[in-house]
Amino acid sequence: MSKATLTKRTEFCSSHRYHNPNWDDAKNKAVFGPCNNQNSHGHNYLLEVTLCGPIDPVNGMIINLYDLKIYLWDVLKEFDHKNLNLDTPYFTERIPTTENLAVTLWECLKQHPHMPPVDRIRLHEDHTLFADVTAELLNGPGQSSHADITRRYKLSAAKHLPNGQTTGHNYTVDVTVTGPIASDTGQVVNLGLLDQIVNEKILTRFNGKNISKDEAFQETSPCESHLAQVMWHALNNEIAGTTLTQITVSEGTDSQASYRG
């Protein structure tokens, strides 16, 4: 029987606060920044659930989409319009970060009696941040669950075209790192530190500049794929405790290029 994957996207709203009760206020503020503010803050989360299973020879589906919508709501109703810290039982000992929430949703979906095998969960906290979890990541080395965390950045830059003209683009750059979810922070990487490194190594170098004049592009074209590769080498080994997994660069809505070292 043929198998396929199916991805369903759905939204829910929740609020949360990042806080480690074992730390004093100064350390919580230093590590979590605005996410540690006394009042919780909310997000319109976008959840992508990818299922893998056999295609029914009669209806041609892995699962009836109407049924899937019901099964997802069975899980998400515990989280929708809730304060994750106070209104759910899942975060009494875990900080409700994007990574930990993605792992929690994975665990809840796996326990649903009618849900086909879950292949991947991608949870978008907002347009700048999303986390991916898979069975392979959750069963990775060590005692901690692992996850991919992707941070999205914007930059504007120009480049020379083959005909000698110059054109400008508003680039989107996705930086994906993989690592264990730390028990004390609930994060794969400190986002403030990641932002600082990307700003120093990537944004300062390219934003508002003519990329064609950069030393990396004196003998090669500054296309998306080459730019992703150059950014990879600029960031690789700079982010302690994690592995740089992928750089994705898009100079518009019609194409993108990814580089994995």
Q: What is the pLDDT of residues 160-180, one digit of tens each?
A: 888 778 889 999 999 999 999
> Could you tell me if 108 and 206 lie in one domain?
no
141 three-class SS: coil
Domain end (from 139, 173, 191): 139
> Could you tell me if 24 and 102 lie in one domain?
yes
Query: To the nearest whole percent, how much of the chain has pLDDT over 90?
Result: 81
Domain end (from 121, 139, 157): 139
Total structural domains within the chain? 2
Cα Dmax for the chain: 61
* Token pair of 35 as six digits: 């996410």
> Could you tell me if 162 and 211 lie in one domain?
yes
pLDDT of res. 1: 63
Match 């750059």 to its residue by tokens: 173
Q: What is the pLDDT of residues 17-55, one digit of tens each?
A: 999 999 999 999 999 999 999 888 999 999 999 999 899
> Could you tell me if 154 and 247 lie in one domain?
yes
> Could you tell me if 28 and 113 lie in one domain?
yes
> Could you tell me if 221 and 259 lie in one domain?
yes
Per-position DSSP letters for 195-212, written without gaps between them: HHHHIIIIIHHHTTSBGG
Domain span at residue 3 reads 1-139
- 251's torsion region: left (phi>0), alpha (psi -120 to 50) or beta? alpha
> Could you tell me if 182 and 259 lie in one domain?
yes
Residues known to be catalytic: 35, 81, 125
> Could you tell me if 41 and 160 lie in one domain?
no
Q: What is the CATH number of the domain that holds 155?
A: 3.30.479.10
> Could you tell me if 61 and 161 lie in one domain?
no
> Could you tell me if 12 and 129 lie in one domain?
yes
Q: Which residues face 176 on adjacent strands?
A: 150, 246
> Could you tell me if 4 and 77 lie in one domain?
yes
Q: What is the pLDDT of residues 76-113, one digit of tens each?
A: 999 999 999 999 999 999 999 999 999 999 999 999 99
168 three-class SS: strand
> Could you tell me if 93 and 5 lie in one domain?
yes
Domain end (from 139, 173, 205): 139
